[in-house]
Amino acid sequence: MKCLIIAAGKGTRLRRKGEVKPLIPILGVPLIERVIRTAKQAGADDFYVVLGYEAKKIKTFLNQLNQILNIRITTIQNDNWEKENGYSVLKAKEFISEPFILLMSDHLFAPSIIQSLQSQSLKDGEVLLAVDIDINNPLVDMDDVTKVKFENTYISNIGKSIDDFNGFDTGMFYCTPAIFNALEDSQNMHDTTLSGAINLLADKKRAKVHKIDEFWIDIDDEKAFKKAKRKLLETLKSKTNDGPVSRWLNRPVSIRCSIWLVNYNITPNQISIFSFLLSLVAALFFATGDYLYLLIGGILAQFASIIDGSDGEVARLKYLSSEYGGWFDAVLDRYADAFLLFGLTWYVYFQDNAPLVLIIGFSAIIGSFMLSYTADKYDKLMKNRINKGIRLGRDVRVFLIFLGAIFNLPYLVLAVIAIVMNIETIRRIIICRDKNG
């Protein structure tokens, strides 16, 4: 899939965030990189970027990104970048001779929009525009957005100043090369805007709409920048397999940590290792046999559980998610669980010197391991049911350890974990059996 991105403008309204607009980072990732990575997620693999203002800096960045993502990025120079955006699009005429996706370097969006656009049938000579049909969309700047009037599937009018409209131009197009001819015709009529060319195609019933209601935003000023940042962070709260402690306590705190972490060259795997080391230190504190150290260990264990959420958050925000990263984190979590529960068992045994503690501690470790082992299969089989109930997982287990340390009730907590985790594992086995039976 070919993808043309317009990145030639100056972007003066975001000057306080950075001198070169496409390179302004939002949650650790430059705007143009977010656009390219999102389009890549949607299937694009051949990119053309029209540059103008500070072209050299952006080109240097794109050359580096090209190596990282292993994709082709062709830069196109527009020396008349101060003209309207239609002039920049026309610069790509000699480079693209087949249908392509057209994007703006300062528009963020859900990859599903590009996927649905590209899946539509497009006749020769037509252009398809993704149109936001939510005219009350709070992410839209009504004073700046390009408005669209359409009837059935065809555009009848488009422009910033039209009064009669029923949708918004998202800046995402699926084009045939006919767009270039329309741009030339529009410029001959002294209109160098992209909207001018679309209106010419609309007069010929060749400009169609693809209605969307997914996330998109034009980051044209600082107000929109803040809205986009909030929206990206909201996506981190939507993990369906979060337990109650993770959802209501850990996640709000870990997101705040992730906002800080994304600004540094820290990998998700490094965060996973740091979380594990915190758990290991907590377990060592437990094993000292003193209440003060028990208290410190409990606080460290809970903090490690919170930080454990940041690895996935940073991975999603910076497009660093991988199957290996998820598996590596899960492996470290199992080791951390074992150390924490063994440290707690050692503390209780040191206090009471009762052999029964060893049995309870062993049962807690086994129950925790089996609960984690059964989680993946259970989550897949019982996805709809999980959303309606409470999911017992590592977040609950570590929080119980934290409470046991705070209130100096480690024996009780070990017993509760041993009983609850094993019962929940058995319950899952029965439910999965009945589901498959």
Q: Domain check: are 189 and 289 in the same one?
A: no
207 with 252, same domain: the answer is no
Tokens encoding 214: 């997914």
- Residue 385 scores a pLDDT above 70: no
Please provide residue 152's backbone torsions phi and psi, each rounded to the nearest 5 degrees: 60, -110
Of 169, 203, 226, which closes a domain?
A: 226
The reported pLDDT for the residue numbered 238 is 59
Residues 222 and 251 grouped into a single domain: no
Integer angstrom CA distances of residue 226 from 158, 180, 217: 27, 35, 11
Q: What is the DSSP string of 281-299?
A: HHHHHHTT--HHHHHHHHH
The pLDDT of 145-149, averaged and rounded, is 96
Please say which residue of 226, 252, 279 terminates a domain. Answer: 226
Tell me whether residue 334 is exposed, middle or buried, using C-beta atoms within 10 angstroms of its C-beta: 0 to 12, 13 to 18, 19 or more.
middle
Q: Left if phi > 0, otherwise alpha if psi is -120 to 50, otherwise beta: which for 171?
A: left
The residue-averaged pLDDT of 304-308 equals 96
CATH, residue 317: 1.20.120.1760
Q: Is the pLDDT of residue 232 over 70?
A: yes
Tens-digit pLDDT profile for residues 359-372: 999 999 999 999 98
User: Does residue 232 belong to any structural domain of this protein?
Assistant: no
pLDDT digits (tens, 9 = 90+) for 336-361: 999 999 999 999 998 888 889 999 99
Q: Is the pLDDT of residue 140 over 50?
A: yes
Q: What per-residue confidence (pLDDT) applies to 142?
A: 93
One domain for residues 21 and 117: yes
What is the rounded distance in angstroms from the CA atom of residue 310 to the CA atom of residue 276? Answer: 13
| Total tally of structural domains belonging to the chain | 2
**Res 383: pLDDT:** 59
Domain that holds residue 295: 239-436
- Determine what percent of the chain is predicted with pLDDT higher than 70: 96
pLDDT > 90? residue 374? no
Regarding whether 286 and 199 lie in a shared domain, the answer is: no
Question: What's the whole-number mean pLDDT along residues 48-75?
Answer: 96
pLDDT recorded at residue 382: 62
Q: Is residue 329 over pLDDT 60?
A: yes
Label residue 343 exposed, middle or buried (CB < 10 Å: 0-12, 13-18, 19+): buried
Number of H helices, E strands in the chain: 16, 13
Q: Which residue has the tokens 């410190």?
A: 296
Percentage of the chain modeled with pLDDT above 90: 85
Cα dist. 52→8, 64, 73, 181 in Å? Answer: 4, 19, 16, 22
Cα 59 to Cα 39: distance, rounded to the nearest angstrom:
18
DSSP state of 140: -
| Strand pairing category for 207-212 and 127-132 | parallel
| Angle between helical axes of 355-381 and 410-436 (0-180°, round to 10) | 30
Handedness of CA 144, 149, 155, 159 (dihedral sign): negative
- The CATH number that applies at residue 19 is 3.90.550.10
* Pairwise CA distance, residues 9 & 78, whole Å: 10
Same domain flag for 321 and 351? yes
Distance CA 81, CA 96 (A): 20
Residue ending a domain, choose from 197, 226, 255: 226
The mean pLDDT value of the chain amounts to 92
- pLDDT computed for residue 386 by the predictor: 47
Q: Work out the pLDDT band at 164, boundaries 50, 70, 90.
A: very high
pLDDT in tens, 192-212: 999 999 999 999 999 999 999
* Prediction pTM value: 0.88
One domain, residues 303 and 338: yes
Q: How many CB atoms lie within 10 A of CB 121?
A: 7
Are residues 291 and 210 both part of a single domain? no
| Domain annotation covers residue 231 | no
